[in-house]
Amino acid sequence: MSHQITEEVRAKAEVYLGDALCQEKTKLLLKEVGLPNGLLPLRDIIECGYIEETGFVWLKQKKKIEHTFSSIGRQVSYAAEITAYVEKNRIKKVTGVKAKELLLWVPLYEIYVDEPSTGKLHCKSTAGVSKTFPVSAFEVPEDPPKEVTEDAKAEKKENGADVAVKVAPLEPVQAESVVAPAPTEQVAQVVVNK
């Protein structure tokens, strides 16, 4: 049974729209509560929301997806809408997530890791089935800082300059024929240090 995302619920929540921002917020929340960042490998997320005081979270994606965690050979189905309550090292009262067990799709109800950490993640279903997996099976590498190639290092030595990118707010333009951008817009500015 899906939890209703009413206007009252939304009013109490931090709500985010768009896939890129929701992906970032989902991974950040999982990390903050001590769960692996790849636990919810959703695609095309439309909206996500979180009520910090209750731990209630929801995620809406364009359509249901199936994902295979290849290192453990498990297939998991994620509905178009997923709801749950998060707390330290645990997601409970999960809706919209099912794991394939033999030929059946079994709804998951709770996912948690041990405290102190044993490196194990436990999944419990509404049918009473419980499985344990390595936490590493649900971790994805975070985007590493971009490395400077050897060619770029050589070019830097030849030119004797460092290049840095700064993001600065745009200044409003005072002209009749030009519309000033909103003050929240930003632009990248390249600065060369010699």
Distance between CA atoms of 118 and 98, rounded to whole angstroms?
A: 24
What is the phi/psi pair of residue 161, to 5°?
Answer: -130, 145
Cα dihedral: 71, 72, 75, 77 (round 10): -90
- Contacts of residue 49, defined as CB under 8 A and 6 or more positions apart, other chains included, come to 5, 9, 10, 13, 14, 15, 16, 57, 58
* pTM listed for this prediction: 0.70
Distance between CA atoms of 189 and 187, rounded to whole angstroms?
A: 6
3-state SS assignment for residue 124: strand
**pLDDT, position 127:** 85
**pLDDT, position 117:** 86
**pLDDT, position 143:** 67
List the structure tokens of 83.
């709801």
Q: How many CA atoms lie within 13 A of 67 on its CB side?
A: 17
* Cβ(97)–Cβ(108) below 8 Å: yes
**pLDDT, position 162:** 40
What is the phi/psi pair of residue 23, to 5°?
Answer: -60, -50
Distance between CA atoms of 11 and 20, rounded to whole angstroms?
A: 22
pLDDT along the chain (194 residues), means of 10: 77 95 96 95 96 96 96 96 97 96 93 92 92 94 61 47 40 44 43 43
**What are the chain's domains?**
7-138 (2.30.240), 150-193 (no CATH)
List the structure tokens of 142.
């975070």
**pLDDT, position 4:** 74
Token pair 């290092």 is at which residue?
Answer: 153
What secondary structure letter does DSSP report for 172? P
